[in-house]
Amino acid sequence: MEKGFPYMKLYQGELYWPSISPEKRVYKPLKKDAECEVLIIGGGESGALCSFLLGEYDIDTIVVEKNKIGNGVSAGNSGSLQFMSDKMLSDMIKEIGPENAIYFYKLCQKALDEIARITSQVEWSTGFERKHSLYFASNVKDLHNLKTEYELLSKLGFPVTYMDKAEIQSKFPFSKPGAIYSLSAARFNPVKFCQAIIHEAAKKNVRVYEDTEVLKYDLTGKKLLFETSGGTIKANKVIFASGFETLNYLNTKKISLTRTQIVVTNPIGEGEKWYENALIWETKRPYQYIRISDDHRLILGGLDENETEPVNDNSELRKRSKKLVDSASELFPNLELKIDYEYNAVFATTFDGRPFIGEHPAYKNAYFLLGFGGNGTIYSMMGATILRDLILYGYHPAAEIVKLGRSMKNK
């Protein structure tokens, strides 16, 4: 049997979402051997969405989470959703051709709509709310590519408009050369999201076990075997939805670990602080982003670095936090911003900006949902849909675009 998953330190500092999202339901750990059709390893966003979709089709499913639902990587999520990827559509077309690139972007848009559908059906609040987003040119030299991207998205029917410098100045308290204004974005609470969706899956007879760690596993037999801290699970299929902990299964040259800084400020009061309180991000790489939380705080993120571990020194943590606050204050000088929560977290990105989703080429019936990148929740929803169809029908038209074994060479 293979050993279980290595421990990875995911963040340094105080997370915001768990502090405002108390557990509403506790799931007991596994205490005896079990069998199922599909085992899902991981109770974050990817695992939750997979469990919900499989539960809709009455697939005999077990979810195991070694800690608490929604309190792994998902707890460090910014809680922002949009169909636009970190990689522009025009750039993706150069790599995989127009048909595949446009289809991928359409799947991202569909994933946002599917998240809206699911959150409208669950019993508990997820904090999901439709929003718009402003993607501005950080400088004049980025303006040409931004306009080209807008024209492409608009021509293909994506819900976007363009704002020039004068319009930005009239609607926001800052000036930028130009921006794409997306009419398809959203915000949500990632911890409540996981809790609510897993709760709904459990109501559909999905078996959920918290505090249940996979210690060893064997993917070579007709039945897949998993030795956990509470008993052995036999499954016909498995979905690895535990993020970084599965990297030993993949070509690590295709994946990079990055650390990022997040600050949540003091409450800034109710009402509209800028045009439609839209989500804000920019063309500069690494980019910074801003959104407003349900309790009227600014959530600031950015300062990404190619490092595999979070910042450990608290003085360095505070230094990065002050940089984010200073940048936000330049955009919104009328707001008095203080740091209430701050943390530095590790996330993964892929070599081509697309997630890794699908069956492992060397292990039959072992599926992976690795929604790596800045658009992770959208990728998780896309991946859950793709894996559901692969499990039910053995096919999904996007499987080739996101498969684990795809080449690092551009087409």
Q: How much is the pLDDT for 126?
A: 98
Examine residue 120 and state whether it is found in any structural domain, yes or no.
no
- Residue 283: both structure tokens together: 């063309």
Examine residue 94 and state whether it is found in any structural domain, yes or no.
no
Please give the Cα distance from 306 to 311 (Å, whole number): 12
Average pLDDT (2-21) is 83
**38 lies in the same domain as 167:** no
**271 lies in the same domain as 344:** yes
Examine residue 125 and state whether it is found in any structural domain, yes or no.
no
Q: How much is the pLDDT for 341?
A: 98
**245 lies in the same domain as 270:** no
User: Which CATH number fits the domain that encloses residue 62?
Assistant: 3.50.50.60
Average pLDDT (273-301) is 97
3 state DSSP class of 273: coil
3 state DSSP class of 362: coil
Q: How much is the pLDDT for 177?
A: 98
Instruction: Yes or no: say if 306 and 258 are a contact pair by the CB < 8 Å rule.
Output: yes
Q: How much is the pLDDT for 253?
A: 73
Angle CA 341–65–400, to nearest 5: 95
Cα–Cα nearest to 34, from 2, 7, 60, 68: 60
pLDDT, one tens digit per residue, over 257-273 is: 899 999 999 999 999 99
Examine residue 164 and state whether it is found in any structural domain, yes or no.
yes
Q: How much is the pLDDT for 243?
A: 79
335 pLDDT exceeds 90?
yes
Helices and strands counted in the chain (H then E): 8, 19
pLDDT, one tens digit per residue, over 152-203 is: 999 999 999 999 999 999 999 999 999 999 999 999 999 999 999 999 999 9
Give the C-alpha distances (Å, rounded to integers) separating 365 from 35, 39, 52, 69, 387.
15, 11, 19, 25, 11
**343 lies in the same domain as 356:** no
Examine residue 88 and state whether it is found in any structural domain, yes or no.
no
Work out the angle between the directed axes of helices 45-56 and 376-393 (0-180°, nearest 10). Answer: 40
**285 lies in the same domain as 299:** yes
Q: What is the pTM of this model?
A: 0.96
Examine residue 99 and state whether it is found in any structural domain, yes or no.
no
**28 lies in the same domain as 146:** no
Q: How much is the pLDDT for 130?
A: 98
2 pLDDT exceeds 70?
no
Out of 350, 373, 393, pick the residue that ends a domain. 350
DSSP3 helix / strand / coil % (the chain, rounded to 5): 35, 30, 35
Give the C-alpha distances (Å, rounded to integers) separating 170 from 160, 165, 167, 336, 409.
19, 9, 5, 22, 44
**55 lies in the same domain as 11:** yes
Percent of the chain with pLDDT over 70: 96
Give the C-alpha distances (Å, rounded to integers) separating 83 from 88, 106, 137, 301.
11, 8, 18, 18
Split into its structural domains, the chain has a count of: 2
Helix (H), strand (E) at residue 53: helix 45-56
User: Which CATH number fits the domain that encloses residue 265?
Assistant: 3.30.9.10
410 pLDDT exceeds 60?
no
Instruction: Yes or no: say if 39 and 64 are a contact pair by the CB < 8 Å rule.
Output: yes
From the number of C-beta atoms within 10 Å of its C-beta (0-12, 13-18, 19+), residue 58 rates as exposed
Q: How much is the pLDDT for 227?
A: 97
Out of 350, 370, 388, pick the residue that ends a domain. 350
**224 lies in the same domain as 143:** no
User: Where in the sequence is the domain holding 148, given as residue range(s)?
Assistant: 130-183+254-350
**261 lies in the same domain as 233:** no
Please give the Cα distance from 68 to 43 (Å, whole number): 7
Please give the Cα distance from 350 to 244 (Å, whole number): 12
Q: What is the mean pLDDT of the chain?
A: 94
- Window from 81-95, 192-206, 234-248, 301-315 with minimum mean pLDDT: 234-248
Instruction: Yes or no: say if 158 and 83 are a contact pair by the CB < 8 Å rule.
Output: yes
Q: How much is the pLDDT for 348?
A: 87
Examine residue 116 and state whether it is found in any structural domain, yes or no.
no
Cα–Cα nearest to 327, from 349, 302, 308, 293: 302
- The residue behind tokens 């204050």 is 329
**370 lies in the same domain as 286:** no
Angle CA 187–92–161, to nearest 5: 50
Query: Most distant CA pair in the chain: distance in Å?
Result: 65
Average pLDDT (278-288) is 96
Q: How much is the pLDDT for 1?
A: 65
Q: How much is the pLDDT for 254?
A: 85
User: How sure is the predictor about 10, in pLDDT bands with cuts at 50, 70 and 90?
Assistant: confident
Examine residue 114 and state whether it is found in any structural domain, yes or no.
no
357 Rama class: left (phi>0) / alpha (psi -120 to 50) / beta = beta
**179 lies in the same domain as 271:** yes
pLDDT, one tens digit per residue, over 126-142 is: 999 999 999 999 999 99
**356 lies in the same domain as 345:** no
Tell me the Cα Rg of the chain: 21
Length reported for the chain: 411
- Residue 25: both structure tokens together: 């339901």
Average pLDDT (370-394) is 95
Please give the Cα distance from 294 to 271 (Å, whole number): 11
6 pLDDT exceeds 70?
no
In sequence order, what are the residues at sequence separation of 6 or more whose Cβ sits closer than 8 angstroms to the Cβ of residue 393? Answer: none
Please give the Cα distance from 145 to 300 (Å, whole number): 25
Please give the Cα distance from 388 to 49 (Å, whole number): 10
Work out the angle between the directed axes of helices 89-121 and 190-203 (0-180°, nearest 10). Answer: 60
Out of 350, 369, 384, pick the residue that ends a domain. 350
